[in-house]
Structure 1
Amino acid sequence: MRALLVVNPAATTTSARTRDVLIHALASEMKLDAVTTEYRGHGRDLARQAAESGEVDLVVALGGDGTVNEVVNGLLHDGPEPDRLPLLAVVPGGSTNVFARALGLPNDAVEATGAILDALNRKSERTVGLGLASGTKGTADEGVPERWFTFCAGFGFDASVIGRVEQQRELGKRSTHPLYVRQVVRQFLRYPHRRQGTIELRRPGADPVTDLVVSIVANTSPWTYLGNRPIYVSPRASFDTGLDVLGLSRLSTAAVTRYASQLLMSTPERGPHGKHATTVHDMDDFTLNSKVPLPFQMDGDHLGLRTSVTFTGVRRALRVIV
């Protein structure tokens, strides 16, 4: 087997020495080319080149969810071919590693590498569905390129939090869970649309849901992790179904306190709920519109402002070593 290993040298939880050990371990079982990313989007470019060459059987992403997202978008640049889905393995190296953990891989890079090698020997893999987001036709965002996401997207409040976290990281702060919690609190105090939501959810065969402040699109569950605690916003979301949405129409102090408690106590059976919460399960096509431009994120990567995003759930998009 010939493989390409895409390594993010800035991965939060792996050292250069650890990465060398992992590279040697993988190279002992396959013909491996290891390349270190040098700029934002480099992982996408490398994976696209590998897919187009037709000479690489497997692409391995060593990094966090952002690195994985880049690699996936490179592999699926021309879309999935039903009879020849690309093959991916993930070695978690970020602070949260939602996609890898949702697949059942260990959160430790060394243990995950061992699990991947065992899976390769057993020829164990899984086909997963992904989400695809694009600019809505007939809107100012029509020309925005399509982009895949592995576990979640967000339009509105949660994306604004991620934007603030990225600003802090550019100033030299480490990506940690306390950093995210602090930015949630700070953004809550200054978010301009928390009292009157501007987001509308439109889906075929149903009335629109309006005045949402929060709109989180989930492709799997849990949504994220707070340390080792899984957080569920859409407990029924799965790699085997379409996309789920959680929408919140109120972010008052009382509502935030209630929803924060529900998130901390969430389980695989129950997530946030109440009269100001909208949950929709297993959708293939829908659109989120906003009266004003709002922050947008995919897999924890802030992508700027949008006014309308169209989502598609693609049920068989990628093969993953597990």
Structure 2
Amino acid sequence: MERKRARIIYNPSSGKEILRNHLPDMLDILENGGFETSCHATKGSEDTMEAARQASFHQFDLVVAAGGDGTINEVINGLSRCEYRPPLGIIPAGTTNDLGRALRLPRHPIEACKVIIEQNYVPLDVGKVTAISEEMANSESYFINIAACGRLTEISYEVPSKLKTILGQLAYYMKGFEKLPQIRPIHLDLDSPEYSFSGKVMLCLIANSSSVAGFHRIAPDAKIDDGVFDVLLVKTMSIPELIRLATLALRGEHIASDRIDYFHTNHLVVKSDEQVDLNLDGEYGGALPRQFQVLKHHLQVAVKNNIQAISGNESDSDEMVEYMIEESLR
């Protein structure tokens, strides 16, 4: 019987080079799990997307994305454009690992590979983003966790890579506290079949999963396969109010705030009369205006047969961040 073929697309610099160090063991597990496996070390975003497209073109039976949220986003951008889209395995090895958190995947590459060879696939929605200005016609991109705009979203590509390596997720929160005095509201015009809005906001989040920027309860109702986005608008408020709201978000209690508008939709258009940049899965995604739509069950992704609740390390990190927030209010 012909063996299945797998292609690992990995970022060799992710997670203090943990992927490079464990690559022989990863290949061994996949081979013993029934996959004839080859690998590709990424050299940049376009290279990563092209590697995913080539894996689709050559009809691989499985594509394994190994790296941080940026690497996974690039693989998904490559696969989502193809007619044939092989199942996706995830080896989370970045700073935040939002999709890995949402799927309750192990952080260690060996344990993540063991999940992949179970071949237990579930459907995964993908967000499609289309430019609607004439000069950018036919421009499209994809995201799996979050599309966001607002000055706070610039943090993810302003944190130095060395700081992320040393401090991990806390590096983002530290950068966030540093930028708080500079935060100003932006003007947005938002239109969807379910809800319309025009005015000033601190932040707009269009979520496809419950874990966003390490806050694993930011969109508490979000599911990866429900065919809708969870959209959060954070209305204008003072900096102390914003800090208190962040504390509530760690516990998933922010949705009840009268400063939050929260709704579900599978299609929306977001515009602004000022320059507003878009963040897609932690990476720069161009500027508004943009149209967003859900591609329901566009991919299949490998998960554990019995998905367990989020464990250990996340709550430890949350406690540290909550302490930092409380200290900032003193």
Q: C-alpha distance in 2, partners of 1:205/1:2?
A: 43
Residue from 163, 174, 184 that aligns with 1:182 = 174
Unaligned runs of 5+ in 1: none
Does residue 287 of structure 1 match 2:283? no
Amino acid at match of 2:219: S
Is the 1:224–1:232 Cα contact (8 Å) retained in structure 2?
A: no
Amino acid at match of 1:129: D
Q: C-alpha distance in 2, partners of 1:257/1:76?
A: 37
Q: Deviations over 1:166-197 (max 9, x none)?
A: xx22xx43342221012111222123x33xx3
Amino acid at match of 1:262: L
Q: C-alpha distance in 1, partners of 2:9/2:211?
A: 26
Is the 1:6–1:60 Cα contact (8 Å) retained in structure 2?
A: yes
**What's 1:111 paired with?**
111
Deviation at 1:205, TM superposition (A): 5.3
Is the 1:88–1:321 Cα contact (8 Å) retained in structure 2?
A: yes
Does residue 310 of structure 1 match 2:315? no
Q: Deviations over 1:6-31 (max 9, x none)?
A: 11101125153222321222233311
Q: C-alpha distance in 2, partners of 1:174/1:112?
A: 22
Does the C-alpha gap of structure 1 residues 207 and 97 become closer, same or farther in structure 2, counting only changes over 3 Å?
A: closer
**What's 1:146 paired with?**
140
Unaligned runs of 5+ in 2: 304-330
Q: C-alpha distance in 1, partners of 2:193/2:274?
A: 23
Deviation at 1:144, TM superposition (A): 6.7
3-state DSSP class of the match of 1:11? Answer: coil
**What's 1:91 paired with?**
91
User: Equivalent pairs: percent with the same residue?
Assistant: 24
Q: Deviations over 1:265-322 (max 9, x none)?
A: 22xxx444322211112x1110111221122111111234x13121101111001122
Is the 2:64–2:91 Cα contact (8 Å) retained in structure 1?
A: yes
Does residue 127 of structure 1 match 2:99? no
**What's 1:254 paired with?**
240
Is the 2:64–2:88 Cα contact (8 Å) retained in structure 1?
A: yes
Deviation at 1:64, TM superposition (A): 1.1
TM-score (normalised: structure 1): 0.85
| Cα-Cα RMSD | 2.0
Q: C-alpha distance in 1, partners of 2:244/2:91?
A: 36
TM-score (normalised: structure 2): 0.83
Does residue 232 of structure 1 match 2:235? no
Is the 1:291–1:307 Cα contact (8 Å) retained in structure 2?
A: no
Is the 2:125–2:225 Cα contact (8 Å) retained in structure 1?
A: yes
3-state DSSP class of the match of 1:38? Answer: coil
Q: C-alpha distance in 2, partners of 1:8/1:40?
A: 10
Runs of 4+ in 1 over 6 A off after TM superposition: none
Does residue 3 of structure 1 match 2:2? no
Q: Deviations over 1:107-128 (max 9, x none)?
A: 22221111222x13xxx21111
Amino acid at match of 1:182: M
